[in-house]
Amino acid sequence: MGERLGYAPGVFDVFHVGHLNILRRAREHCDRLVAGVCSDDLVVCLKGRPPVVPLSERLEIVRSVRYVDEVFVATVDDKVEIWKEVGFDVIFKGDDWLGTEVWQALETEFAKVGVEVVYFPYTVQTSSTLLRRALGVQARQNLSGASGQLAGPLHKEGGQVEDMSYEHYAIHAEKEVFTPQE
């Protein structure tokens, strides 16, 4: 049997522990891992706003992660078209996409060509959206002459600051969902 090539697509903007968790877990399920990083234009198309961190810097950050063997610049959102170019055997995504119409259709298409879809637990305690909001607060405070301190932690639960470490994540988010091939 040949080498199992994995593909982990993402924007990877404002890189955080959730990104690292996906890449770490993806690498455990393949021999080589390609991280697909969305181009700046594709991010604008998908999200309606440019990324905080430009493509060249996002590529350098993701390329430097030890679990990643190669980076690929995604200029289209069509994962089947990307598969034709990259030739991966398995694709990884956060389980926040599990059961969505888009990914159910992709599962069907990928099953036809023998590509496995694997979902990993979404890291709920942090996200690029939360970090962007926090940075927005920081920027507004800096502009108004405030101390530069954030208004509060990014995520609170029961009045305690949520631990964002990998160990916390591993204890609270153990499920992985594998979509079987047909």
Calculate mean pLDDT across residues 110-120. 96
Report pTM. Answer: 0.72
Q: Supply the pLDDT for residue 16.
A: 85
* pLDDT tens for each residue of 133-167: 666 644 444 444 544 443 333 333 333 333 333 33
Rg of the chain over all Cα atoms, to the nearest angstrom: 18
Dihedral angle sign, alpha carbons of residues 152, 156, 160, 161: negative
* pLDDT tens for each residue of 1-46: 689 999 999 999 988 888 999 999 999 999 999 999 999 999 999 9
Edge-first strand order for the sheet with 32-38 is 70-74, 32-38, 5-10, 90-94, 116-120, 177-179
Predicted confidence (pLDDT) at residue 171 exceeds the cutoff of 60: no
